[in-house]
A and B are shown apart, each in its own frame.
Chain A
Amino acid sequence: DAKTTQPPSMDCAEGRAANLPCNHSTISGNEYVYWYRQIHSQGPQYIIHGLKNNETNEMASLIITEDRKSSTLILPHATLRDTAVYYCIVRVIGGAQKLVFGQGTRLTINP
C-alpha cells in the first residue's frame, strides 16, 4: 500500500472550513484514498473514501487532485466535536482490507 504524508497538527476556528491535506505521490491506479478519524482515544471512525472523483457525504468532502498524488479532506463547518486525529490511508479495495495507519494530523478546533 502507498505511503501517505500528513502534517502532524493543524488548528481551525469553529464554524470555519477545516482543510486537511494528504500527499500520496506513489499511489497506484487501483488504490483508493480513505479517511478515518479518532476522537480522544476512542476507536477510529470511518469518514469517507474515493478513487479519483470528488466525494461528499454527510460528514465531509474529499477532493482528489487530477494526478491523484494528493487529496484534501474538507470539514465544511467545523465544530468543537471535530477535534480529533485524522488519518489518511491509501489501499486497494479487496483482499484482506487491512488498514495501515500513519501518525495522522491532530486537528484542534478552537472556539
Chain B
Amino acid sequence: NAGVTQTPKFRILKIGQSMTLQCTQDMNHNYMYWYRQDPGMGLKLIYYSVGAGITDKGEVPNGYNVSRSTTEDFPLRLELAAPSQTSVYFCASTNPGGRELDEQYFGPGTRLTVT
C-alpha cells in the first residue's frame, strides 16, 4: 500500500491564482481530512469527509472548497489564493469502527507559498 499520497510536494502561487491540491488513499478508508499547518503551530482542520458525496467544514474552511466523488480521492481547491494561505497542507484518512481502527494516516504534505 502507498498509503496517503499528495501532489504536488511544493507549489508557489501568485495572489489570485487558483489550484487544486490532490490527495489519494489506497486503504479503502471512508473518512478523509484536510489540515493546514502554519509555522510553529499545530495542525488545523479545513474540511473533512465521511464518505463519497459527503463533505463538511472544519475549523478554518474559508477560501477553500472540497469534493469527494470517490472513496479514494479528496481534492482541496483554492480559488483565489491569498498570502494568508501560505502553509503546509496535510491530507489524512481513517476508518470508523473500534479503537483498533481509529488511527489517522497522514500524507507527506504539500508546501504552498502565495506571493
The number of chain A residues touching the other chain, given as a range, is 20 to 34
Inter-subunit contact B109/A43 (CB<8 Å): yes
The number of chain B residues touching the other chain, given as a range, is 20 to 34
Neighbouring B residues of A103 by C-beta, 8 Å: 40-42
Inter-subunit contact B96/A101 (CB<8 Å): no
Instruction: Name which residue of chain A comes closest to B49, CB basis.
Output: A96
If over half of A's interface residues share one DSSP class (helix, strand or loop), that class is named, otherwise mixed; here it is: loop
Cβ contacts B52-70/A at 8 Å (1 or 0 each): 0000101100000000000
A44 within 8 A of B: yes
Which residue of A44, A46, A94, A104 is within 8 Å of B90 (Cβ)? A44
Inter-subunit contact B108/A102 (CB<8 Å): no
Interface residues of B (CB under 8 A from A): 4, 31, 33, 35, 40-45, 48, 50, 56, 58-59, 88, 90, 92, 94, 96, 99, 102-109
Interface residues of A (CB under 8 A from B): 32, 36, 41-46, 49, 87, 93-94, 96-104
